[in-house]
Structure 1
Amino acid sequence: MRNRGFKVVAVGLVALFMTGILAGCGGSSSKDVKIGILNEMTGGNATMGTSAANGAKMAIKEANAKGGVLGKQIQGVVADNKSEPSESANAMTKLVSQDKVVAVTGVFSSSDAIAAASVAEATKVPFIAVGATNPKVTLDEKTNKVRDYTFRVCFIDPFQGTVGANFVLNTLKLKQAVMLVDNSSDYSKGLASFFKEAFAKGGGTVLGEEAYLQKDQDFKTILTKVKALNPEVIYVPGYYEEVGKIVKQARELGITVPIIGGDGWDSPKLVEVGTAAALNNTYFTNHYSVDDTSTASQDFVEAYKKEYGQAPDALAVLGYDAANVLIDAIQRANSTEPSKIREALAATKDYPAVTGPTTLNDTHDAVKNVVIIEMKDGKQMFKETVKP
């Protein structure tokens, strides 16, 4: 998902080489099995990172209550990447070299995950991302090969973008769109590209594209251009901070058409920033809805509310699922050696996750449903589920 400005990760990798941990790190000789929980605990994506970390910690707590894994208790070591790619590489390096974790889970932003994946591959320590949807997370862009030690439990943007485009065309019955894209985000640019391709294939027309950058505050200039194009719908594949401001300012300019986005919208802060009234007639694709009536989902929601005093969002569920998939892989590997955990992760099939049966395919991605969410009076309302 999230990837605000993918910065060069050389700083983290230099530190990595200096520590002399290029091969075979990990393996637990202590009384505990250490698992890294790397997330955006501060910075622009803090609400999502905190949710994912909460989900992972709850999964570990439940596993420990049942005896842990391989006869040992699990210790979750939390690290903050500060919602920055370079910090993600640094934090990943610390988890491996200093904390001696056997594997790492977490990370919402795609840019942050790509940075963490580079370290995971160099150190040969398994990394399973929770919400990073850009294909480059598990596929090395330079070699065009699947990363050996990197996995994820979420769907990827080619599917998410296609679902969004088809929803606009087939459910909303709209064919004239404008896109607003965060040019500092791999996630936003990638998702926009996949939406545009599917939209055109289905008979839609993108009338124009406008760009913005993370932390921008005033969007009225580009929104005035958008209004002049008279679109039927606006596609904004961004993150909740900027999206909230964009939607609010669009409504202030008299733009009333539907505004559509992706999973980067999923944060309680979206309503705080955008306001409930402005967010009416908006929709976004997501990983999960608390309205899911399955027993597994309802049990999780109840347990999460008891643990944290609030309802979970999609990232909380994905954090929980990713940690459980990792714990299951360690159990099946019957080892804390990273190479054996990697092999077990690659063989994951039909794991009964809250977000649905999870199989990691040949590209180390999970094949998952996409949920359409509608915003109504400040609340997320389940619209429909689309299967792959």
Structure 2
Amino acid sequence: MKKSLKIISLFTLVVVLILTVTSCKKDKKDTIRIASVGPISGDVAIYGNSTKKGIELAIEEINNNGGILVDDKQMKIEWVGMIDDEASSDKAATAFNTQYAKNIDLMLGAITSGATEGLVGQAIGKKLLVITPTGTADYITVGKNGDERDLRTNIFRACFNDSYQGEVAAKFISNNLKKTRVAVLYNNEDSYSMGLYNSFKNLATTNQIDIVYEQSYQNNSVDFKTAWNSIKSSGAEVVFLPEYYEKVVTIVSQGRDAGYNGTIVGADGWDGVLSVDGVDENDFTNCYFSNHFAVDSNEAVVNNFVNSYKSKYNENPTSFAALGYDAVYIYKKAVEEAKSIEFDKVLEVLTSSNFYADVVTGRITFAANGNAVKPAVVMTFENKNYKYYTTVE
């Protein structure tokens, strides 16, 4: 009996020692592990691939400069990579679980709003910081009824949200374009398009805007001629079109072919229209869209980013690239202020009213609901390029 007790005691001691060593190793990590989930194939692959490039550039820069200062120790970032979710909510959820199992410190994702909600469903309750660089749907940080922030305290976004973009569009049309008669085309099967439509509609009257015509369509819609003829008959001076870039090209092209020469206004989903095969840049004369940064800005932080990005990838960065890049630097600043990579300590810094980060897309702070607070830029088109037009706050 005594011999058995000795064996049990020895076994218990060994287990305790193993757990202690494992715990120490976990507390004394040599690298900070960052992972992502996003669409790197499919219809909106440009979003995932652009964001991935921005993330990788930021990580490369930080590591080349010694890493992130955690208390008195420089820690390099280990890039776990981006798993393709094809902009699918279910695939994003599965991809999150795969990445989470790799003992990561930060999840950057997902990229599209619907996929991000699928990912968030798996991230709720876990001691892991999640920053979506580009997921704009309002519900991502607060739930679809707006009452889940206490469950989603680990969820943040580096971009602004749909309600804010709808507000920006309304203010821009009213204050900058001085127009009042507006038509709206929106996709009632897409959360991004619906979020912007609802926000814009709710703020129209406040901004002296009269919505003279509105028409919904579906994901598989391809013929918009009837809608454009109705828009022409309505006397609309401006059309608000909250949609992603590939479908934007189709809709705008059909509008111009139908003889509508008025102003068309969109949001950040338009970023990428000039990369679509067969696009006629002339169709986008008298068009504007809200965005997160202007590639032709003369600000030093933007110039440095654009030059570094072009040097590495031989192309201009999109706003998705800038937001992926910024998300890494936001985390870097939070960790350095926390002097720790422990979840609770980094979260405390991010939720502090004193926290801010000066990044490519502007000075960013976080509201209590995890949303980014920062200005928006409005872009137009000139000489087959995007061109900065104004800033709206």
Q: Structure 2 length as normaliser, TM-score?
A: 0.86
Give, in angstroms, the shift of residue 340 of structure 1: 3.1
**Alignment correspondent of 1:349:** 355
CA shift in 2, pair 1:28/1:307, >3 Å = farther
Q: Distance in 2 between matches of 1:172 and 1:361?
A: 30
The question of whether the paired residues in 1 share the 8 Å contact of 2:36 and 2:109 is answered with yes
**Alignment correspondent of 2:372:** 366
Q: Distance in 1 between matches of 2:116 and 2:231?
A: 32
Q: Distance in 1 between matches of 2:271 and 2:378?
A: 11
The question of whether the paired residues in 2 share the 8 Å contact of 1:241 and 1:270 is answered with no
The residue correspondences of 1:35-184 to structure 2 (distance < 5 A) are 35-69=34-68, 70=70, 71-77=74-80, 78-97=82-101, 99-142=102-145, 144-146=147-149, 147-184=152-189
1:289 and 2:267 aligned: no
The question of whether the paired residues in 1 share the 8 Å contact of 2:131 and 2:157 is answered with yes
Q: Distance in 1 between matches of 2:53 and 2:331?
A: 16
Q: Secondary structure at the match of 2:124?
A: helix
Question: Which of 1 and 2 has greater Rg?
Answer: 2
Quick check: 215-224 or 99-108, which moved more? 215-224
The question of whether the paired residues in 2 share the 8 Å contact of 1:160 and 1:191 is answered with yes
Q: Secondary structure at the match of 2:317?
A: coil
**Alignment correspondent of 2:319:** 314
CA shift in 2, pair 1:205/1:275, >3 Å = same
Q: Distance in 1 between matches of 2:281 and 2:193?
A: 23
1:331 and 2:298 aligned: no
Q: Distance in 2 between matches of 1:330 and 1:350?
A: 13
Q: Secondary structure at the match of 2:56?
A: helix
Quick check: 29-38 or 266-275, which moved more? 266-275
Unaligned runs of 5+ residues in structure 2 are: 1-25
Unaligned runs of 5+ residues in structure 1 are: 1-26
**Alignment correspondent of 1:304:** 309
Which of 1 and 2 has higher RCO (CA within 8 Å, sep 6+)?
Answer: 1
Deviations along 1:83-140, whole A, 9 cap, x unmatched? Answer: 112111111111102x221111133322122222222214331100112222111112
Q: Secondary structure at the match of 1:151?
A: strand
Letter of the 2:238 counterpart: V
Q: Secondary structure at the match of 1:359?
A: strand
Give, in angstroms, the shift of residue 296 of structure 1: 0.9
**Alignment correspondent of 1:196:** 201
Deviations along 1:197-226, whole A, 9 cap, x unmatched? Answer: 222222211122211223433222333333
Give, in angstroms, the shift of residue 273 of structure 1: 5.2
Task: Give the count of matched residue pairs.
Answer: 360
Give, in angstroms, the shift of residue 271 of structure 1: 5.3
Letter of the 1:47 counterpart: I
The question of whether the paired residues in 2 share the 8 Å contact of 1:300 and 1:354 is answered with yes
Q: Distance in 1 between matches of 2:171 and 2:349?
A: 36
* CA RMSD, Structure 1 to Structure 2 (Å): 1.9
Letter of the 2:37 counterpart: L
Q: Structure 1 length as normaliser, TM-score?
A: 0.87
1:32 and 2:31 aligned: yes
**Alignment correspondent of 1:7:** none
Q: Secondary structure at the match of 1:188?
A: helix
CA shift in 2, pair 1:169/1:64, >3 Å = same
Q: Secondary structure at the match of 1:278?
A: helix
**Alignment correspondent of 2:14:** none
Q: Secondary structure at the match of 1:200?
A: helix
Q: Distance in 2 between matches of 1:85 and 1:40?
A: 11
Q: Distance in 1 between matches of 2:197 and 2:279?
A: 21
Give, in angstroms, the shift of residue 66 of structure 1: 1.8
Q: Distance in 2 between matches of 1:360 and 1:342?
A: 11
Deviations along 1:318-366, whole A, 9 cap, x unmatched? Answer: 1110011112223333333333333333237121212122211211111
Q: Secondary structure at the match of 1:127?
A: strand
Q: Distance in 2 between matches of 1:271 and 1:172?
A: 27
CA shift in 2, pair 1:168/1:270, >3 Å = farther
